[in-house]
Amino acid sequence: MFTIGVLASGKGSNLEAIIKHIQGGFLNVKIGVVISDNPDAHALEIAKSSGIPAIYIEPGKYRTFLENTQEEKYIECLKKYEVEFVCLAGFMRVIKKNFFAEYTNRIINIHPSLLPSFPGLEAWKQALDYGVKFTGCTVHFVEEDIDTGPIILQAVVNVLNDDTPEILHQRIQEKEHIIYPIAIKLISENRVRRKGRRVIIDED
Ligand code: GAR
């Protein structure tokens, strides 16, 4: 079966959505392992309670990326659990060269804005502060430059008059929980092709 690995730093609602879609039969994939850089990540609890190996691997001394020796441990762990495809789900660190060498074109991410608008942190807050009327979320391939990889799927969310950052993020997350499992399904069925920067989804 198509085996994915999930990397998560936080509360793990996207991981939870993926698990629910597997349990409900929508997704025919296996989560081989969940790895976190945060020992207190709720994502680890979610994985454990679903019987998925849940592993904390120290990130090392840097704040925004993994130290080289530690990144090697992440890769070793993914290989140990026979992970074919890596899904970042709220993993708040930048991935570096070795990772891409091992998993070329096989790393995707969910980002809480309509990229290329609002890359980086707290994208929902950036959208609100900027004053856009629409924002949303994006599933994209991960490349070395942050939040720039080819776009697989996007969903749009209206920005409402009385939105706060929290409320807007919550509505964006509702859409994330729909499109991330769909993107994983399309990939697992080999229906996603890259054509330069464009991603072509083959019909059923
Ligand atoms: C999600 O909104 C995801 O899009 C965002 O972190 C949140 C994780 O939520 N990711 C990024 O901002 C990456 N740049 P979760 O832990 O509940 O899945």
Q: What is the mean pLDDT of residues 112-120?
A: 98
The reply to whether ligand 1 has any atom less than 6 angstroms from the CB of 36 is no
Residues forming the active site = 111
pLDDT number for residue 22: 98
Tokens of 69: 């020796």
Q: Which of ligand 1's atoms lies nearest the C-alpha of 109? A: 13
Whose CA is closest to atom 8 on ligand 1?
90
Q: Is the pLDDT of residue 197 over 90?
A: yes
Q: What is the mean pLDDT of residues 147-152?
A: 97
In eight-state DSSP terms, residue 162 is T
The reply to whether ligand 1 has any atom less than 6 angstroms from the CB of 135 is no
pLDDT number for residue 91: 98
Q: Is the pLDDT of residue 28 over 90?
A: yes
Q: What is the mean pLDDT of residues 137-161?
A: 97
pLDDT number for residue 97: 87
The CA-based diameter of the chain, rounded to the nearest angstrom, is 49
Q: Is the pLDDT of residue 5 over 90?
A: yes
Q: Please tell me the distance between residue 169's alpha carbon and the centre of ligand 1 in angstroms.
A: 9
The reply to whether ligand 1 has any atom less than 6 angstroms from the CB of 59 is no
Strand order in the sheet with 85-88: 54-56, 29-36, 2-7, 85-88, 107-111, 134-141, 151-158
Q: Please tell me the distance between residue 161's alpha carbon and the centre of ligand 1 in angstroms.
A: 23
Domains and CATH numbers, the chain: 1-104 (3.40.50.170), 109-204 (3.40.50.170)
Q: Which of ligand 1's atoms lies nearest the C-alpha of 14? A: 18
Q: What is the mean pLDDT of residues 32-57?
A: 98
Nearest to 112 by CA among 78, 83, 137: 137
- pLDDT above 90 coverage of the chain, percent: 98
Q: Which of ligand 1's atoms lies nearest the C-alpha of 147? A: 14
Q: d(Cα 109, Cα 48) in Å, to the nearest integer?
A: 22
Q: What is the mean pLDDT of residues 166-182?
A: 98
pLDDT number for residue 204: 78
